[in-house]
C-alpha cells in the first residue's frame, strides 16, 4: 500500500489540496510507493516565511548544542538504516547495497559536523593601532532553500541540511517528487532529533512552481541562500534568478566525466573502475563516467576487456546483488532513449543489444520484472564533435575515444566544458600530477573511478558542472555562514585606520 504524503511547514502538515502525484517503483511499474500532493508557488513562499520566523530563535541556540542535535540525527539514521535503505531501493530502484552506502553517507556527514558545532571558529586579528582589537565571526546566512535531485534522495540532501542547520540556519527543502517517500522519511528522522518547528520544512512541488515560489521568496527577502543539485540547464536558470537578487547560490550540476587510460595502466583495474563509474546506479550519477579516453596502444585490449565485463555483469531486481537496476523514473527512461539516437554511423557499439530490456529484447541473466530496465551501452569511436562526447548522458552509456599524448588527453578531458570529476589510470606519478594540474575538474582520482565521495573532502565542480561552490567537509561552511568583522577600540579616542598609524622610519640607504 502506498503512503499519503504532504508538505510539512512549521511542524504541521500542509493542507492536502494540491496537484496529485504518484511515486512509482521503477522496478515494478504497477507498484505505487507514495501518493503526493504537490504544492504551489504560494505554499513554497509561505514555507520560507515560516522558516524566517523560526530561524531567529534557532540561531540563538549555542552552536555546540546544535551540534548535539546533529549527533542525534546521525544516531537516528544509523538505527533506521536498513529501513531507509530498503525504501530508497523500492522508490528509485537503486541496488540495496548502494542504498545502504548512501545511508552510511548521511551518518558520516553527521559524525563530521557534530563536532563542527564546537569549531565554528573566528579569529582574533592584530590591529595596526594600540588599544584596539579586531575579530571575525561566522554568522548564519538565515534561510536556505535547498532543491535536490532524486538519484541520491537522502545522501545529497544531507550534504546541505546538516551543515546548514548546524550553522544556525533554517531550511526549506524541496526534494524530487519521484523520491518523495524517501525524502519524507529523512525529514521525519531529522524532526525526531528535536529540531524546533519551522527550522526544517519540506515542500513537495514540481519544478515550475518551485521556481515561481523561489522567485517570490527572494523578492520578499525570506531566502538568503539557495542550494541546488540537478541539471546544468536548470542550474543556469536558478543562478540567473539568484543573481538578480545579488545572491550567490550553491550549484552542484551535471558532469561529462573523463577517465584517461594511460599505456602503463593496470587494465583490469581500469576496467573495474570504468564498470562501476559508468554503470553503477545505471549511470545516473553526476559523477558517472562519460567518456573513456584511451591511449591508442591499449585501446583495443581495454575495449575488449570492458565489453566482456559489461556482458558478464548482472542487471535486474535491485533487491539482488546486481550492477544496476532500473532507471529512476519514466522521464529519465524517455530521455535515455533520446540519447541512444545520438549514436551515429561512424560509431561502433561494442555491446548489444541496446534499448529497453524486454522479452523481445532480452539480456542473459536478467532478474528484473516489468520495470524501466535498459541494456548497458559502450560506444567506441566517439569524436570530439559528437553530442555523445560533449553532452551529459544520464544513463547506462559510456563513450570511448583515443589519444596519443597526455597533453592531447587533457585537452579532450576539458573539451566538453564540464568540470566535476575526472580520473586517470597510470603507474607514472609524473603523469598523475600533470593530469591533476591540467584538468579543469573539481575532483581528480588516480587509479580510481570517477564516482565516490567522502564526508570530509570538498565535493563540487566548475564550468558547466557548477559555480565553484563546494559541499562536504569544512569547505561547505562558507556556503552557510557569512564572515562578520568587528573592531573594538578601547583607547578612549577616535583612531582613524590608515591615518593615525604609528610609523617607524627605516634608513633604506644604509649599506654595509
Distances (CA, A) of 82 to 3, 86, 88: 19, 6, 10
344 and 293 belong to one structural domain: yes
pLDDT in tens, 362-384: 999 999 988 999 999 999 999 99
248 and 124 belong to one structural domain: yes
* CA–CA distance, 81 with 78 (Å, rounded to integer): 5
Q: Tell me if 74 is assigned to some domain.
A: yes
437 and 469 belong to one structural domain: no
100 and 218 belong to one structural domain: yes
pLDDT at 16: 67
The C-alpha cell at 383 is: 569524436
On average, the pLDDT of the chain sits at 96
Distances (CA, A) of 314 to 88, 265, 321, 335: 20, 26, 8, 23
Q: Tell me if 2 is assigned to some domain.
A: no
292 and 426 belong to one structural domain: yes
* CA–CA distance, 388 with 339 (Å, rounded to integer): 8
Residue 339 has φ and ψ, to the nearest 5°, of -60, -35
The C-alpha cell at 85 is: 535503505
Nearest to 47 by CA among 201, 209, 166: 201
214 and 136 belong to one structural domain: yes
Q: Tell me if 491 is assigned to some domain.
A: no
Please give the distance of CA 141 from its chain centroid, rounded to a whole number.
21
pLDDT at 1: 60
The C-alpha cell at 323 is: 550492477
| Cβ contact 443:465 at 8 Å | no
215 and 326 belong to one structural domain: no
The CATH number for 319's domain is 3.40.309.10
Residues tagged active-site: 252
Q: DSSP assignment of 245-287, as one string? A: TT---EEE----EEEEE-TTS-HHHHHHHHHHHHHGGGG-STT
Q: Tell me if 502 is assigned to some domain.
A: no
pLDDT at 452: 80
Weakly modelled stretches of the chain, pLDDT under 70: 1-2, 16
111 and 42 belong to one structural domain: yes
State the residue for C-alpha cell 512541488.
205
Domain containing 118: what range?
8-254+465-486
Distances (CA, A) of 38 to 8, 229, 372: 12, 19, 24
Q: Tell me if 456 is assigned to some domain.
A: no
pLDDT in tens, 460-498: 999 999 999 999 989 999 999 999 999 999 999 999 988
Q: DSSP assignment of 459-496, as one string? A: B--EETTBSS--BSTGGGHHHHEEEEEEEEE-SSS---
Q: Tell me if 500 is assigned to some domain.
A: no
Number of domains in the chain: 2
* CA–CA distance, 77 with 186 (Å, rounded to integer): 8
Q: Tell me if 451 is assigned to some domain.
A: no
88 and 70 belong to one structural domain: yes
pLDDT at 265: 98
225 and 77 belong to one structural domain: yes
Please give the distance of CA 124 from its chain centroid, rounded to a whole number.
34
| Cβ contact 312:348 at 8 Å | no
pLDDT in tens, 423-449: 999 999 999 999 999 999 999 999 999
Q: Tell me if 507 is assigned to some domain.
A: no
| Cβ contact 259:426 at 8 Å | no
374 and 299 belong to one structural domain: yes
The CATH number for 201's domain is 3.40.605.10
385 and 469 belong to one structural domain: no
* CA–CA distance, 511 with 447 (Å, rounded to integer): 56
pLDDT at 323: 97
The C-alpha cell at 465 is: 558542472
Amino acid at each position: 500500500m502506498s503512503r499519503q504524503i504532504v508538505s510539512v511547514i512549521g511542524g504541521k502538515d500542509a493542507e492536502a489540496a494540491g496537484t496529485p502525484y504518484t511515486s512509482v517503483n521503477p522496478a515494478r511499474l504497477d507498484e505505487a510507493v507514495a501518493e503526493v500532493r504537490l504544492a504551489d508557488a504560494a505554499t513554497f513562499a509561505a514555507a520560507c516565511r515560516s522558516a524566517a520566523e523560526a530561524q531567529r530563535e534557532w540561531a540563538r541556540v549555542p552552536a555546540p548544542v546544535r551540534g548535539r542535535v546533529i549527533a542525534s540525527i546521525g544516531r537516528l539514521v544509523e538505527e533506521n538504516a536498513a529501513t531507509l535503505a530498503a525504501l530508497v531501493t523500492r522508490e528509485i530502484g537503486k541496488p540495496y547495497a548502494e542504498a545502504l552506502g548512501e545511508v552510511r553517507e548521511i551518518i558520516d556527514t553527521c559524525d563530521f559536523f557534530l563536532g563542527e558545532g564546537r569549531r565554528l571558529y573566528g579569529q582574533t586579528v592584530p590591529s595596526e593601532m594600540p588599544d584596539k582589537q579586531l575579530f571575525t565571526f561566522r554568522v548564519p546566512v538565515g534561510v536556505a532553500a535547498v532543491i535536490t535531485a532524486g538519484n541520491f534522495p537522502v545522501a545529497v540532501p544531507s550534504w546541505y541540511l546538516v551543515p546548514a542547520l548546524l550553522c544556525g540556519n533554517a531550511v526549506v527543502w524541496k526534494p524530487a517528487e519521484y523520491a518523495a517517500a524517501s525524502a519524507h522519511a529523512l525529514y521525519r528522522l531529522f524532526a525526531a532529533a528535536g529540531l524546533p518547528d519551522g527550522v526544517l520544512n519540506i515542500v513537495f512541488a514540481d519544478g515550475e512552481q518551485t521556481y515561481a515560489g523561489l522567485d517570490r521568496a527572494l523578492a520578499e527577502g525570506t531566502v538568503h541562500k539557495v542550494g541546488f543539485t540537478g541539471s546544468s540547464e536548470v542550474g543556469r536558470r536558478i543562478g540567473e534568478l539568484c543573481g538578480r537578487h545579488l545572491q550567490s547560490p550553491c550549484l552542484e550540476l551535471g558532469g561529462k566525466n573523463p577517465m584517461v587510460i594511460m599505456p602503463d595502466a593496470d587494465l583490469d583495474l581500469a576496467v573495474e573502475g570504468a564498470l562501476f563509474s559508468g554503470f553503477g546506479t545505471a549511470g545516473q550519477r553526476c559523477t558517472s563516467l562519460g567518456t573513456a579516453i584511451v591511449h591508442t596502444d591499449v585501446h583495443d585490449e581495454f575495449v575488449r576487456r570492458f565489453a566482456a565485463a559489461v556482458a558478464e555483469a548482472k542487471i535486474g531486481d535491485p533487491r539482488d546483488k546486481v550492477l544496476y537496476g532500473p532507471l529512476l523514473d519514466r522521464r529519465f527512461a524517455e530521455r535515455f532513449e533520446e540519447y541512444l539516437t545520438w549514436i551515429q554511423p561512424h560509431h561502433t557499439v561494442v555491446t548489444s543489444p541496446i534499448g529497453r530490456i524486454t522479452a523481445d529484447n532480452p539480456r542473459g541473466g536478467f532478474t528484473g520484472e516489468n520495470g524501466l530496465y535498459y541494456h548497458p551501452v559502450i560506444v567506441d569511436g566517439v569524436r570530439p564533435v559528437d553530442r555523445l562526447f560533449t553532452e551529459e548522458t544520464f544513463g547506462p552509456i559510456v563513450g570511448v575515444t583515443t589519444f596519443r599524448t597526455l597533453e592531447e588527453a587533457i585537452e579532450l578531458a576539458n573539451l566538453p566544458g564540464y568540470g566535476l570529476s575526472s580520473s586517470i589510470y597510470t603507474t607514472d606519478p609524473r603523469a598523475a600530477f600533470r593530469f591533476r594540474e591540467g584538468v579543469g575538474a573539481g575532483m581528480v582520482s588516480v587509479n580510481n573511478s570517477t564516482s565516490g565521495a567522502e564526508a570530509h573532502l570538498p565535493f563540487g565542480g566548475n564550468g558547466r558542472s557548477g559555480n565553484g561552490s563546494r559541499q562536504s567537509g569544512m569547505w561547505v561552511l562558507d556556503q552557510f555562514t557569512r564572515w562578520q568583522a568587528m573592531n573594538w577600540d578601547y583607547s578612549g579616542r577616535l583612531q582613524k585606520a590608515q591615518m593615525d598609524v604609528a610609523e617607524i622610519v627605516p634608513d633604506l640607504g644604509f649599506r654595509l
